Amino acid sequence: MLAEVLKSDITRLDVDAIVNAANRSLLGGGGVDGAIHRAAGPGLLEECGKFGHCDTGKAVITKAYNLPCRHVIHTPGSVWRGGGNGEAELLKSCYMSCLSLACDYELETIAFPSISTGIYGFPLREASHIAVFTVFSWNKDFPRKVIFVTFSEEATEIYREVLSRFNVR
Ligand code: ADP
């Protein structure tokens, strides 16, 4: 698996799929979800509305409308409630569900934001471990490359450090 950390606005990336840290209604929200819907335009909301709902840790795939990428994979993140409520398992499941869709659609490159580490309050370091560990445990043919998209200096440093333990740049 090729992997890299990129500090960027995820809506600008020209990749096969970007992941949206969504909520269960799939009707848009703040943070990266709001940015993705604003950049994609109203078609995205309309398509999301057809699903009605998505459970935490699961994922759905849509077209990308006005975004430069090809698809958006929406996964409702794990809400941090102190750490003893299955939060880690649910966050891992978010990554697995997205990777599984990328595999089904034979997507080469997928870009993840740091799911759950904004409004949902998941500690950044623990979330980055789960993200990187889950991606490197994935041993199917697709995706071939994962981009961990960070939005702050702090997140960029943490992800770079965690990724360096897997001996990749
Ligand atoms: P959640 O509700 O899952 O916590 P947020 O959107 O609040 O989702 O935050 C998830 C992460 O996405 C945070 O680390 C935040 O800094 C980051 N983020 C916010 N906007 C963008 C963006 N445009 N591109 C990439 N990452 C973003």
In the chain, what are the domain boundaries?
2-164
Q: Is the Cβ atom of 89 under 6 angstroms away from ligand 1?
A: no
pTM of the full structure: 0.97
Which pLDDT belongs to residue 167? 59
Q: Is the Cβ atom of 32 under 6 angstroms away from ligand 1?
A: yes
- Index of the ligand 1 atom closest to the CA of residue 23: 2
User: Strand pairing of 71-76 and 60-63?
Assistant: antiparallel
Instruction: Extract the residue ranges of the chain whose pLDDT is less than 70.
Output: 167-169
Pick the CATH number of 2-164 from 3.40.50.80, 3.40.220.10, 2.170.270.10, 3.40.50.2300: 3.40.220.10
Residue with tokens 């961990």: 148
109 touches 1 (CB < 8 A) = no
Structure tokens that stand for 26 in this block: 């799939």
Atom 13 in ligand 1: which residue has the minimum CA distance?
118
